[in-house]
């Protein structure tokens, strides 16, 4: 982990999870472990103790909802959805019923019972082989600490109010609640002993723009407070007492980053067009109506994916038609005449309806989710479709169905849409009679029947995340097999090309809204495979546009034609990297430093 660098630099290595460079003094923070008291209850005291537990759970839930609302306002709905996992703990009847049983059976106080049961659950999760599930221990630890804080009447979380200058935090771990309260005027970045790319603290650090490195084992033993250090969130390094040469190298890196940001600002208001004049619209993915400002700021040419499930999750009842209409209308009218593609509910898998209790599923990603759920809940689905239709009168709205596996699902969805149109006509409510409907291509079966789907669609959007996951049978959140999640796998490229060929035969346009669209290295390959539009998170849009404006379509097609003949995913990736680096070196030089 530790290595001796030039001129006595001490370099600690970990996992880079949030890019950026920070220089300053370290601040070692260790969570104060307060002993949880235990006392015995008389039989007549048990009802009051259960009531005290319930009040603590209600207070914790309200506290988490307040945090979630603040995160939504500052970072967006996707980051705020991280706290859905915390709220789930408070609704876990198995856990809570066991706490109640311990209180009744052992006649002990609520904080002791809750702590004992939670520790047992966390120990079980920590033994799970799946890295993603192990990371959820931090979520449960966060919730447990909050509940115990309410029961014991003490403060919760990380207190940095005493700091006099900005610092690099060094800790064993940071919970999501710790991370969201980090004040950028006092915190330059953070390093933790444990964690991974999938940890919620890492995700929030990226949203906050704080450099972060995790997985630096024994960093608490290696580092003391007030040591001058350099944190490299690009390469996963913490350099203690950096030399002048190292500071110079990183100064150059920062200057390259500033130069890149200036170049990116120049393309914000420019169209996506290749050097040989081919238009490539670059759109944005959003989660809520408030994200429309980010769409305008990043120079996106519309919304390629409006995720609507965030209107539904973590609430006792589904949103009413008028509430949904107002959210969709706001985006459509603000961006008019730019297109806004609204994806119907993609619930299930890792997202759920708190008001809809689903049966426990062995394979939720293969189960009752997305279009399957919607077609079996036609009343709920109709409410959303009517809201989308009404919003289409205010702008260029399109409807997109997720997780289509075959023709029957697409036809059923379109038939329900037609019935909703008839209802609105009868009510005299306006909508776009020519509204376009499209299918998401994210299941291999959809690719194989893409010709039939194309005859009943107006456009395709390839969801590369699920397409790769389902095709390669790889859970990319499982670090033991994450190396098998290969976007340049020859099978994936052939599936994409099969989709674009079916669309070309029917005169349809094809977009990509998965993570491949936000990776500059893969953009030329996608365009060469026949993709017409790209949609990515707003912060990535300028980078994608910058690259598109520096390549030629004939080069992209040559790359794709060559890639379709290859057998090695890594060889294809190397060729993609070469093309992208040659076309836009500044995009990649900002991360490179020798130390």
Just list the catalytic residues: 200, 513
Place of tokens 């601040």: 27
By DSSP bridging, strand 396-401 and strand 339-343 are parallel
Return the H-helix or E-strand segment holding 297. Answer: helix 292-298
52/151 Cα distance (integer angstroms): 8
**CA separation for the pair 165, 188 (Å, rounded):** 10
Residue partners of 595: CB distance under 8 A and separation at least 6: 5, 6, 9, 11, 237, 239, 246, 249
Rounded to whole angstroms, the Cα distance separating 347 from 333 reads 26
Query: How many residues in total does the chain contain?
Result: 595
Orientation angle between helical segments 244-267 and 541-548, nearest 10 degrees: 80
CA 89 to chain centre: 20
Handedness of CA 270, 271, 274, 278 (dihedral sign): negative
Residue with token string 């499930």? 309
- CB-based contact 173:142 (threshold 8 Å): no
Quick one: DSSP state of residue 165?
S
Run of H or E residues at 69: helix 46-74
Say whether 430 sits in a helix, a strand or coil. coil
* DSSP H stretches of helix in 153-291: 176-180, 200-208, 219-222, 244-267
Distance CA 95, CA 364 (A): 21
Q: Which residues 6+ apart lie within 8 Å of 92 measured at CB?
A: none
Beta carbons of 478 and 131 less than 8 angstroms apart: yes
Integer Cα distance of 80 and 63 in angstroms = 13
The residues, ordered by sequence, that sit 6+ positions from 580 with a Cβ below 8 Å of its Cβ are 520, 521, 523, 524, 547, 587, 588
Strand ranges in 174-315 using DSSP code E only, listed in sequence order = 187-192, 212-214, 228-232, 237-240, 282-286, 303-307
Helix ranges, 392-486 (H): 407-427, 444-448, 450-454, 464-472
CA distance 544 to 23: 29
């Amino acid at each position: 982990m530790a290595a001796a660098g030039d001129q006595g630099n001490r370099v600690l290595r970990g996992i880079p999870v949030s890019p950026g460079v920070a220089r300053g003094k370290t601040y070692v923070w260790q969570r104060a472990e307060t002993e949880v008291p235990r006392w015995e209850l008389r039989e007549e005291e048990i009802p009051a103790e259960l009531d005290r537990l319930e009040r603590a759970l209600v207070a914790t839930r309200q506290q988490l909802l307040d945090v979630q609302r603040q995160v939504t306002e500052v970072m967006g709905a996707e980051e705020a959805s991280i706290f859905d996992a915390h709220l789930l703990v408070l609704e876990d009847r198995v856990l809570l019923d066991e706490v109640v049983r311990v209180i009744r059976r052992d006649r002990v106080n609520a904080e002791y019972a809750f702590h004992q049961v939670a520790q047992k659950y966390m120990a079980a999760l920590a033994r799970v082989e799946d890295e993603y599930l192990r990371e959820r221990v931090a979520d449960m630890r966060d919730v447990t600490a909050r509940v115990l804080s309410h029961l014991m009447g003490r403060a919760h979380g990380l207190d940095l109010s005493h700091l006099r200058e900005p610092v690099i935090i060094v800790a064993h771990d940071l919970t999501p609640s710790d991370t969201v309260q980090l004040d950028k005027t006092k915190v330059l970045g953070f390093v933790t002993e444990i964690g991974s790319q999938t940890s919620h603290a890492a995700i929030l650090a990226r949203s906050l723009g704080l450099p972060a490195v995790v997985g630096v084992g024994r960093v608490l033993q290696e580092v003391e407070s007030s040591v001058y250090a350099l944190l490299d969130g690009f390469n996963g390094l913490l350099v203690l007492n950096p030399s002048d040469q190292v500071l110079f190298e990183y100064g150059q890196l920062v200057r390259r980053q500033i130069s890149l940001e200036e170049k990116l600002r120049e393309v914000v208001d420019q169209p996506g067009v290749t050097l040989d004049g081919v238009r490539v619209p670059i759109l944005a993915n959003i989660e809520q109506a408030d994200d429309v400002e980010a769409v305008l700021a990043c120079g996106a040419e519309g919304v390629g994916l409006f995720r609507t499930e965030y209107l539904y999750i973590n609430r006792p009842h589904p949103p009413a038609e008028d509430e949904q209409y107002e959210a969709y209308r706001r985006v459509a009218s603000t961006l008019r005449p730019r297109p806004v593609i609204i994806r119907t509910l993609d619930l299930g898998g890792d997202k759920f309806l708190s008001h809809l209790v689903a049966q426990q599923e062995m394979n939720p990603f293969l189960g009752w989710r997305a279009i399957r759920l919607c077609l079996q809940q036609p009343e709920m689905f109709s409410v959303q479709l009517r809201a989308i239709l009404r919003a289409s009168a205010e702008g260029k709205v399109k409807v997109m169905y997720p997780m289509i596996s075959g023709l029957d699902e697409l036809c059923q969805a379109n038939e329900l849409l037609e019935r909703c149109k008839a209802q609105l006509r009868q009510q005299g409510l306006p909508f776009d009679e020519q509204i376009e409907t499209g299918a998401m291509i994210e299941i291999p079966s959809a690719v194989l029947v893409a010709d039939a789907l194309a005859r009943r669609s107006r456009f395709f959007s390839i969801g590369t995340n699920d397409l790769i996951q389902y095709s390669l049978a790889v859970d990319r959140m499982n670090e033991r097999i994450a190396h098998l999640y290969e976007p340049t796998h020859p099978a994936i490229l052939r599936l994409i090309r099969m989709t674009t060929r079916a669309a070309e035969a029917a005169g349809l346009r094809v977009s990509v809204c998965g993570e491949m669209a936000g990776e500059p290295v893969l953009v030329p390959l996608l365009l060469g495979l026949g993709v017409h539009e790209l949609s990515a998170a707003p912060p990535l849009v300028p980078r994608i546009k910058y690259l598109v404006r520096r390549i030629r379509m004939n080069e992209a097609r040559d790359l794709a034609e060559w890639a379709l003949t290859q057998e090695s995913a890594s060889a294809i990736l190397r060729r993609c990297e070469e093309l992208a680096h040659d076309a836009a070196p500044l995009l990649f030089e900002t991360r490179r430093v020798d130390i």
